[in-house]
């Protein structure tokens, strides 16, 4: 991070109303760039939250010890039947806060194999 961006952040914290006005004005003048910046910020935040959730569950596949974040998935040890879905952000936050009961990390291959056998070994 550059010294200039640190200065901007410091100014924004000490002048929140002025900063909010400037952002609002810039967003109305540059809607596409504003949406792209918001999307990138959200993606970065979610990537970090996902990494933190996986780390809270051990950071590696419980079967093969794969640690490649690109293929790690969070699995319910005992599969859920139906039920209500929650937003992924809330799910990750709950894991980071310690709600890890019935959860484990599996790589995509081990997760697919587990799911195959949970469904009676029936292929598609």
Residue-wise pLDDT tens digits, 61-82: 999 999 999 999 999 999 888 7
What confidence score (pLDDT) does residue 108 get? Answer: 98
- Which region holds residue 65: left if phi is over 0, alpha if psi is between -120 and 50, else beta? left
pLDDT average, residue stretch 11-17: 94
> Do residues 52 and 96 lie in contact, with contact meaning Cβ atoms separated by under 8 Å?
yes
- Give pTM, 2 decimals: 0.76
Instruction: Measure CA of the first residue to CA of the last residue in the chain; give whole Å.
Output: 49
Average pLDDT taken over every residue of the chain: 92
How far apart, in whole angstroms, are the C-alpha atoms of residue 124 and residue 106? 21
Those residues whose C-beta lies under 8 Å from the C-beta of residue 50, and which sit 6 or more positions away, are 69, 92
């Amino acid at each position: 991070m550059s010294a200039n961006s640190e200065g901007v952040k410091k100014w924004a914290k000490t002048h929140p109303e002025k900063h909010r006005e400037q952002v609002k004005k810039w967003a109305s003048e540059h809607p596409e760039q504003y949406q792209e910046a918001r999307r990138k910020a959200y993606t970065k935040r979610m990537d970090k939250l996902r990494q933190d959730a996986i780390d809270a569950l051990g950071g590696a596949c419980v079967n093969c010890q794969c640690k490649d974040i690109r293929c790690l998935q969070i699995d319910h040890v005992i599969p859920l039947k139906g039920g209500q879905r929650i937003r992924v952000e809330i799910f990750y936050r709950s894991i980071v806060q310690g709600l890890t009961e019935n959860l484990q990390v599996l790589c995509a291959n081990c997760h697919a194999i587990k799911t195959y056998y949970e469904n009676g070994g029936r292929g598609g």
